[in-house]
Amino acid sequence: MGKLSLLVSMLMVSCWAMEIHVDDVDTAWQKYLAEFPIEIQTKSEFWFRKSIFSETHNNIAKHNANKDATFQMGHNQFSVMTEEEKHEFFGALLPVPPVNISLDASSRVIATSVDYRTHACMSPVRYQGNCGSCWAFSATAVVEFQKCMKNNLIRVDLSEQQLVDCSRANGCSGGWEDEAWQYLSTVGGQIIESTYPYTAKVATCKFQSTSSPGAQISTTFVQWIPTRDTIAMMTVLTEGRIISTYMQLPNSFMSYQSGVFSDTTCVPNNAHAMNIVGYGSLNSVPYWVVRNSWGPTWGASGYVLVKRSVDLCMIETYPRTTNVL
């Protein structure tokens, strides 16, 4: 074959490969719009969102083709968002734990595995929206679960909006779970969601001290768990409580779908609060079961398995829980 014929042949193969790639992205794009409808006002915005989607799609395909990957990625609501838009879904502030934290777990028996995802006291996964209120959802989940466990497995739906509006200034710009619990112990408790529904934006505090609380917090409002002490964390979970935790999320976390998340490229600006609600092992990889507040369409029905015992992105650095009356 002559050089010209070889060049033409190579160009034809290249064009064919490009056509397949374009078709693949177009097909995925149409499927995405059907599953995650988005409001697009102009043609320029349409192409802008599709260009972000295409980049996300390529990153997902590249990651999932890696046979050594311990987790798989997929499309969700974040697939068409800019980095600035994604950042609105974070909101954890770096915790400041006290010195000399101790929790004697040396003589306690811990379960081989714990998973509260389907427990009677685990409320449905919430959606915080584009408000940096993850801390309020993480704090509330701990209170709801513990209240239910102490109340004959009767589930309670508490108001995250109360924390966003009342426990600090501009609750959509971030916060601390322990600060939220301290506030609740001071004002008499957390009221139910139907009385003070979530709006994903900051408003004037509507809480009144005469309101009947759905749950009350002890004056010893926070129990810090020793940093990077996985046995102590597993002990708390075995005893029937869940944990608030802090992570500095890698960018790949936004597209998590299944498996054990193990990406170590942590991003300090992507600080996020979630809940550890169990632990176990998959294909010999130990993990934490982590509950998120990005809705049930994200991840594995709103949950993610995060590699355990390596303090991945600080998940084991600032664990804490609270004491419900």
Active site residue 63: no
**Residue of 121, 131, 134, 313 marked active site:** 134
Same domain membership, residue 289 and residue 173: yes
Confidence class for position 101, pLDDT limits 50, 70, 90: confident
Same domain membership, residue 307 and residue 160: yes
Per residue in 181-208, pLDDT (tens digit) is 999 999 999 999 999 999 999 999 999 8
Is residue 76 in some structural domain?
no
Same domain membership, residue 94 and residue 63: no
Is residue 19 in some structural domain?
yes
Same domain membership, residue 124 and residue 17: no
Hey, CA dihedral for 13, 16, 20, 21, is it positive or negative?
positive
Write down which residue in 68, 95, 124 finishes a domain.
Answer: 68
Cα gap 108→244, rounded to integer Å:
21
- E strand or H helix at 13: helix 3-35
Closest CA to 225 of 240, 239, 243, 238: 243
Cα gap 277→288, rounded to integer Å:
8
**Residue of 57, 121, 272, 313 marked active site:** 272
Same domain membership, residue 306 and residue 195: yes
Same domain membership, residue 44 and residue 153: no
Same domain membership, residue 87 and residue 62: no
**Residue of 119, 148, 292, 313 marked active site:** 292
Mean pLDDT over 109-117 rounds to 95
Active site residue 134: yes
Active site residue 57: no
Which residue range is the domain that position 16 belongs to? 3-68
What is the count of structural domains for the chain?
2
State pTM to two decimals: 0.91
Per DSSP, 281 falls in state E
Q: Is 313 strand, coil or helix? A: helix
